[in-house]
Structure 1
Amino acid sequence: MRTIVMDTSNHYLAIALYEDGMLRACRQLEALKQQSELAIPVLKDLMDGQHWQMKDIGEMVVSLGPGSYTGVRIAMTIAKTLSAVMPIRLKAISSLAMLAGDQKAISIIDARGNKFYVGMYENGEPLMEDTLMEAEVFETFKNEHPDFPIVALVDEIPLCDNLYLLSRKAPYIEDCDCLVPTYIKGVEAKKQC
């Protein structure tokens, strides 16, 4: 099966093509606030390089957040649009899970305002619900789990490989209209009202 993997949830644009479990092409670049302009041209370039057409794609895997409010929606909108007009099945993976991959780790993403999105994973499985933590609370949390390395968004993390790996255990989204981003910060804001 041919698969498109895409992450636009933070300051990277990561797109890869897989065929029957093998990586065929990948591009991961820093693209802060440029993902919406670059996503389609980069995807087209990768597909042209493999001589693939959209009709050849069987599934698409995207990150669903948490992350940049706009960034999360870019890959998700592309995936939902393709799924609505073509027989492409969708899978979605937490952005925090994507950072950890299949390793034992605490994943963090800067949520601004002295806060972090935090997830804890082992072997690709969540050990807690992805959450938003104040920096001071995170320091305590980190110290309570010294055997869990901290992973953050850096160049060395193979975002597409991690997404693809985790997607092998994930179910398909049955209705593309039900695919919605994870907005942990928005939930937190509603609690304060």
Structure 2
Amino acid sequence: MKVLGIETSGNIGGISLCENQQCIITKTFSGIVQHERELVPAIKDALEEAHWQINDIEVIAVNVGPGSYTGLRIGVTCAKTLGYALNRPVVDVPIFDIIAENYHSDGTLSLCPIIDARRKHVYACVYLFEGNRKKRLTEFLVIEPEKLLALLPRPVTIFGDGIPLYKEIFSQEDIIIEAEYYAIPKPEHVALLGEKLYVSGYQCALEKLLPLYLQR
């Protein structure tokens, strides 16, 4: 199965072509203002390098956030347009699942990406490691840091740009704070997760495809 993954949720955007759970090619670009200009050319260049025709794409996966409002709209609009034009299924992938794929258990049993939501809140989702798989223990949260602290299982590994602002709250003996680069979403994880979701029977109705803002 040939999948296009689209990532435009933050400053570093990108696309990835994957086939049967193998990444074929990934292209990245920086700057939210660049996403609108560089997204479509990046897809075109990647297709040429992979020797794919645009009609070879069988599934389109897109990071729906939460993240940059402008960036998310660009990615979702592109995915929706391609879905309609090619008559292909589109899979919406939340950023928490995407960045959770950056981290592999070092012995801790739980993981929580934490993203700054502003207004003294964070976005978060708690995962439990089950072998090589990660199972969601919570819904996608918009929550005050103190309340999230009370929800976290222990020990737990956390990372994300929502931590530095509240480091005094999260600096606990049984909480491992990892490097912030783990919170950078990778286009290849968008594509790989999108393929897994589609194979499991999931896809998003195009008319309902929207960025996941979680709050107004």
Q: Tell me which interval the TM-score lies in, with the shorter structure as reference length.
A: 0.7 to 0.9
Match of 2:142 in 1: 132
Query: In 1, are the aligned partners of 2:16 and 2:27 still within 8 Å (CA)?
Result: yes
Whether contact under 8 Å (1:99, 1:152) holds in the other structure is no
Q: Bigger CA drift: 165-174 or 78-87?
A: 165-174
Segments of 4+ in structure 1 off by > 6 A? none
Aligned positions, number? 184
The residue number in structure 2 matching 1:167 is 194
Match of 1:107 among 113, 122, 145: 113
Question: In the alignment, is residue 185 of structure 1 matched against residue 212 of structure 2?
Answer: no
- CA distance in structure 2 between the partners assigned to 1:109 and 1:16 by the alignment: 23
Distance 1:36 1:185 in 2: 24
Q: Alpha carbon RMSD of aligned pairs, Å?
A: 2.3
By relative contact order (CA 8 Å, sep 6+), the higher-ranking structure is: 2
Q: In 2, distance between residues paired with 1:88 and 1:78?
A: 13
Alignment partner, residue 172 of structure 2: none
Aligned counterpart, 1:176: 206
Q: Which residue of 1 aligns with 2:66?
A: 66
Alignment of 1:24-63 (within 5 A): 24-63=24-63
TM-score, scaled to structure 2: 0.74
* TM-score, L = length of structure 1: 0.82
The 8 Å contact of residues 17 and 188 in structure 2, kept in 1 or not, is answered as no
1:86 Cα offset (Å)? 0.9
Percent sequence identity over aligned pairs: 28
2:122 paired with 1:116: yes
Using the alignment, how far apart are the partners of 2:75 and 2:150 within structure 1? 31
User: 1:29 and 1:10, CA in 2 relative to 1: closer, same or farther beyond 3 A?
Assistant: same
Task: Report the 3-state secondary structure (helix = DSSP H, G, I; strand = E; otherwise coil) of the residue aligned with 1:92.
Answer: strand
Equivalent residue number for residue 151 of structure 1: 159
Q: Kindly state the Cα deviation for residue 172 of structure 1 after the two structures are TM-superposed.
A: 3.4
Higher mean Cα deviation, 171-180 or 77-86? Answer: 171-180
Structure index of larger Rg: 2
**Alpha-carbon distance in structure 1 between the residues aligned to 2:93 and 2:115:** 15
Structure 1 residue 134, shift from structure 2 partner? 2.8
